[in-house]
């Protein structure tokens, strides 16, 4: 059973997807931040880089977009080339060229967004590919009979040199609904083409739907038992929209009117806070540790408090199975993309290793973002990739610590103590004052003073001056002040 819970505030909308009473996906959209993925621009090529087989495109935002050669070659172009690197990007693009592109990946860190010329327009039942020439079926539709039926419908309604991807929600849907969806998307594409001819580069000519509308389009189906939202005007607009294309689903839409914060009422806020932590505890007492860098995520599995009820191999297998299920959920919830390395607890039996890969494979099938499990390395590590489209949860809700600069570690109290002592010794010969007043964090003060003031007495004797200390809990570990008293 699925639920969608949405909180609408003045400058921010938050949405949670719940499956079987567990939070599995979380989205944030802020009015102060532009959501770029799916938007279509008329851009201008500003730099072509043959050595990288790529180009930078000005689409009218702060950072130029990156266009790789695979995303620049349209289907049917350069068909004589057996390998993409036989085509030089300068044969396709040149500086100053006006080009129609769609954002496929948000900007990350110092990198601008990634764009493609392979436009795709998502509808309710279809994704329209005006420059492709095939029919694809959602991998989540598993019935071969249904896949064949939808494939035949897709082939019958599409025109030559246009492509379709039939979405999961189309399962069991009549042909007429697919035809209507395709008609709407074709009209949309014609409008985009017409507009692209009349604007100057760079210009935004198509903007994807907002978060709430995307949730309705992409998720609302018979599988969703409740779509709960806490904003009256948005609720009424959604109800009107749903009645126009799926009136049978309007009864799934609920307006939340209670005083309690909606995410607290549905036990979501606590799960979000857990998803921001490095360590995730498992029900058995084991835990996983998630460490992220810009391109690579490493996940370590530990038995923790779980000692099992039989021999070691069974304990390890149970912990690893529970971890595999939780890892798949955390990847979705945190929206982790890129290369992922998982260090499961060592398993001696080959059948156990195969079981873990099978569980991981089954759990990742629930994820709409493309994942690819490559298998076990010689060191027993699981390698996998997950498509990176938007910023992950941590990047949205957290910022780099100004004290540790993102390392997660700070200088120890002992190091701070040594630094303070060195600074005090600089004033040993200064006769203008006779007392130091040291103000620092209480933990630093306790180390500085030492047991029974031994360190403080020793230092006073060495300096020939009195030292008074004051613990300030509002100070950070790094922070201290030395005052000179006459």
pLDDT in tens, the chain (486 residues): 899 999 999 889 999 999 999 999 999 998 777 789 999 999 999 999 998 999 999 999 989 999 999 999 866 554 444 454 467 888 889 999 999 999 999 888 778 999 999 999 999 999 999 998 999 999 889 899 999 999 999 999 999 889 999 999 899 999 999 999 999 999 999 999 999 999 999 999 999 989 999 999 988 888 899 999 999 999 999 999 898 888 889 999 999 999 999 999 999 999 999 999 999 999 888 899 999 887 799 999 998 776 655 677 888 899 999 999 999 999 999 999 999 999 999 988 899 999 999 999 999 999 989 999 999 988 889 999 999 888 888 888 888 888 788 778 888 888 998 999 999 988 888 888 889 999 999 999 988 887 667 788 888 888 888 999 999 999 988 889 999 987
pLDDT at res. 481? 94
pLDDT at res. 69? 92
pLDDT at res. 34? 75
pLDDT at res. 77? 52
pLDDT at res. 404? 81
Cα separation, 99 vs 82, whole angstroms: 25
């Amino acid at each position: 059973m699925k639920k969608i819970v949405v909180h609408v505030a003045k400058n921010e909308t938050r949405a949670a997807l719940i499956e079987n009473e567990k939070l599995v996906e979380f989205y944030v959209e802020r009015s102060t931040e532009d959501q770029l993925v799916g938007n279509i621009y008329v851009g201008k090529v500003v730099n072509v880089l043959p050595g990288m087989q790529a180009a930078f495109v000005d689409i009218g935002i702060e950072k130029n977009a990156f266009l790789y050669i695979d995303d620049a070659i349209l289907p049917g172009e350069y068909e004589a080339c057996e390998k993409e690197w036989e085509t030089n990007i300068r044969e396709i693009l040149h500086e100053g060229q006006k080009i129609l592109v769609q954002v496929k990946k948000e900007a990350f860190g110092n990198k601008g967004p990634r764009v493609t010329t392979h436009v795709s327009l998502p509808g309710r039942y279809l994704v329209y590919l005006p420059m492709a020439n095939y029919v694809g079926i959602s991998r989540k539709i598993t019935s071969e009979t249904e896949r064949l039926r939808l494939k035949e419908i897709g082939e019958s309604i599409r025109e030559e040199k246009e492509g379709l991807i039939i979405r999961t929600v189309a399962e069991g849907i009549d042909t007429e609904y697919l035809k209507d969806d395709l008609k709407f998307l074709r009209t949309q594409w014609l409008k985009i083409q017409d507009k692209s001819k009349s604007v100057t580069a760079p210009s935004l000519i198509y903007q994807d739907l907002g978060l709430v509308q995307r949730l309705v389009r992409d998720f609302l189906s018979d599988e969703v038992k409740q779509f709960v939202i806490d904003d009256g005007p948005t609720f009424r607009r959604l109800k009107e929209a749903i009645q126009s294309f799926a009136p049978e689903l309007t009864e799934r839409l609920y307006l939340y009117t209670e005083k309690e914060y909606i995410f607290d009422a549905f036990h979501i806020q606590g799960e979000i806070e857990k998803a921001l932590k490095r360590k995730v505890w498992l029900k058995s007492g084991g835990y996983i540790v998630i460490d992220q860098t810009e391109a690579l995520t490493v996940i370590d599995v530990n038995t923790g408090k779980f000692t099992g009820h039989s021999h070691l191999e069974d304990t390890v297998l149970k912990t690893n199975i529970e971890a595999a299920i939780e890892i798949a959920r955390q990847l979705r919830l945190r929206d982790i993309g890129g290369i992922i390395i998982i260090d499961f607890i060592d398993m001696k039996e080959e059948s156990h290793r195969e079981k873990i890969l099978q569980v991981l494979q089954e759990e990742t099938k629930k994820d709409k973002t493309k994942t690819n499990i490559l298998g076990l390395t010689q060191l027993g590590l699981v390698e996998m990739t997950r498509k990176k489209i938007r910023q992950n949860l941590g990047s949205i809700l957290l910022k780099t610590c100004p004290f540790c600069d993102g390392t997660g570690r700070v200088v120890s109290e002992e190091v701070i103590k040594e630094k303070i002592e060195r600074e005090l010794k600089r004033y040993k010969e200064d006769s203008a004052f006779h007392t130091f007043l040291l103000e620092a964090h209480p933990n630093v003060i306790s180390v500085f003073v030492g047991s029974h003031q031994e360190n403080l007495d020793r230092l006073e004797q060495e300096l020939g001056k009195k030292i008074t200390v004051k613990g300030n809990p509002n100070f950070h570990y790094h922070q201290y002040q030395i005052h000179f008293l006459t």
